[in-house]
Amino acid sequence: MHNVVAGPTRGACGVGEGDEGEFGAGAATVWVVDDTEAILVLATSVFERAGWRVTTFEDLAGARSALAVGPAPDAVLLDIHLPDGNGLDHVRPFAAAGSAVVVVTNVAGPDQVEAAFAAGADDVVPKPFDLRSLLARVERATRATRAARFAPTPPPRAHPTVTLAGGAERG
């Protein structure tokens, strides 16, 4: 299923009036890739209330197809265990497209956390999660990804000149 939800709304869910994220209404996009309907609904609600544009996917195929045809989102909230594959196998394409990737899993043991970071994830959040913490962690990951993307590239370092015995120089 692919569902685009736009525009902030208000209501109960732990996040409400005055909790807009630092990215502002419509300024940031997040894709939620999870096969659990409750996660899709709750994540959509919390991100919308914070001013994010949200697109949900119940499988990897939908998210990969969207990535192939359109701009990458600012962030991807990616479940590990999905009906059509392991989310960890798909972290790298999202990260390479410039998205912050936050992996969510109900099995957040050391092996899964290590594998997620090795695959290029920016953070790992165990299920069940606190909605405010989830939002804060995705916003932090997005800030870090944006900062890295737009950081100025340092100029190449000049090779030092070495004076050899007898006054000859070598660069």
Q: How many percent of the chain have pLDDT more than 70?
A: 71
Please report the pLDDT score of residue 18 as a whole number. 41
pTM value?
A: 0.74
158: confidence class by pLDDT, cuts 50, 70, 90: low
Q: Quickly state the pLDDT bin for 20 (edges 50, 70, 90).
A: very low
Please choose, from the candidates 132, 136, 131, the residue with its C-alpha nearest in 3D space to the C-alpha of residue 123. 136
In the predicted model, is pLDDT for residue 123 greater than 80?
yes
Exposed e or buried b per residue across 4-31, where buried means at least 16 C-beta atoms within 10 angstroms of its C-beta: ebeebeeeebebeeeeebebeeeebbbb
Q: CA 171 to CA 160: how far, in whole Å?
A: 6
Q: What is the average per-residue pLDDT within 111-134?
A: 93
pLDDT tens for each residue of 32-89? 999 999 999 999 999 999 999 999 999 999 999 999 998 999 999 999 999 999 999 9
Domain 2-170 sits in CATH 3.40.50.920 = no
Domain segments of the chain as ranges: 2-170
7 or 22, greater pLDDT: 22
Give residue for tokens 């909605």. 131
Residues 6+ apart with CB under 8 A from 81: 35, 87, 105, 106, 107
Provide the pLDDT confidence category of residue 169 given band limits of 50, 70 and 90.
low
- Give pLDDT, residue 167: 60
d(CA 99, CA 10): 26
Contact present, 1 and 58 (Cβ < 8 Å): yes
pLDDT-derived band at 112, boundaries 50, 70, 90: confident
Average pLDDT, the chain: 81
Task: For Cα atoms 50, 106, 4, give the angle at the middle one, nearest 5 degrees.
Answer: 40
Distance, CA of 34 to CA of 49 (rounded, Å): 19
